[in-house]
Structure 1
Amino acid sequence: MHGNQQKGRNGEAIAVQLLKQRGYEVICLNWRHKHLEIDIIARDGDHLVFVEVKTRLSSNFGMPYEAVDWVKQGRLTRAAERYIQAHRHEGEIRFDVVSVLYSADRKSYRTELIKDAFWPD
């Protein structure tokens, strides 16, 4: 596994821990439909939550959550639509972002959970 892939997988594992600590029930990791992917699909109460995880080794180019731009939001929205169709989900949904920022020595990290990070148009 390449460095960026490993960094991403480590960030996702940290995000799963955070979500479980906050009471989320993790349903699926790395759900794919063709070229679309959702990092984590979970339940938070009666909401089906699509979670994007962004991990960075420094904040030199901004905070990790800032990388969830309108292009990424569009991809997540399309992926969520496919998941909802495939699983015939009816009910409330939400898009959350988990931001993971490692310290300079990479021995610790800071996480941030952003609920309702965005809404599709």
Structure 2
Amino acid sequence: MARHNELGKAGEDFAASYLEHAGYGIIERDWRQGSRDIDIVARTEDGTTVVFVEVKTRSSDAIVRPEDAVDARKIRNLGRAADAYVKERAIWNELRFDLINIVGTAPENFRLEHIIDAFNPLLV
């Protein structure tokens, strides 16, 4: 596995652990529909909201901040993937799209930022 793929996997593991400790229930990880994917599907602690989480991990934010990698095309694809997921699973809960940014080279030095309700694919 390439170094950047290893870093991305470590970031997703770190994000999932963070969410669990924050009271979220992890429903799915790395859910795919064709070429589209959702990094993490979680449920809020009160069970009322399904949260689609995009995780962006970078070794440094000196050149590009992780959240800048989520452009309009990526948001539209996440919306389409979430739509397929909701239809496939017959979900009637409230929906939300969060972004977790992770910067660092290893879990020991990761800095995590959780942006709740980061975007709405219907507005892109």
TM-score grouping bracket, smaller chain normalisation: over 0.9
Q: Which amino acid aligns with 1:117?
A: A
In structure 2, list runs of 5 or more residues that go unmatched.
none
In structure 1, list runs of 5 or more residues that go unmatched.
none
Supply the distance in 2 between the matched residues of 1:36 and 1:106 (Cα, whole angstroms): 26
Supply the distance in 1 between the matched residues of 2:107 and 2:89 (Cα, whole angstroms): 39
TM-score by length of 2: 0.91
- List structure 1 runs of 4+ shifted beyond 6 angstroms: none
Paired residues for 1:1-121 under 5 Å: 1-44=1-44, 45=46, 46-102=48-104, 107-121=108-122
User: What's the offset of the Cα at 1:88?
Assistant: 0.8
User: What's the offset of the Cα at 1:25?
Assistant: 0.3
Task: Give per-residue Cα distances to partners, 1:8-48, cap 9 Å, x unaligned.
Answer: 10000110111112111001100001111000000013100
Q: What is the count of residue pairs matched by the alignment?
A: 120
Task: Give per-residue Cα distances to partners, 1:54-79, cap 9 Å, x unaligned.
Answer: 00001122221221111111110000
User: What's the offset of the Cα at 1:106?
Assistant: 7.8
Supply the distance in 2 between the matched residues of 1:10 and 1:33 (Cα, whole angstroms): 22
SS at match of 1:53: strand
Structure (1/2) with the larger helix percentage:
2
Indicate the percent of aligned positions where both proteins have the same amino acid.
38
TM-score by length of 1: 0.93
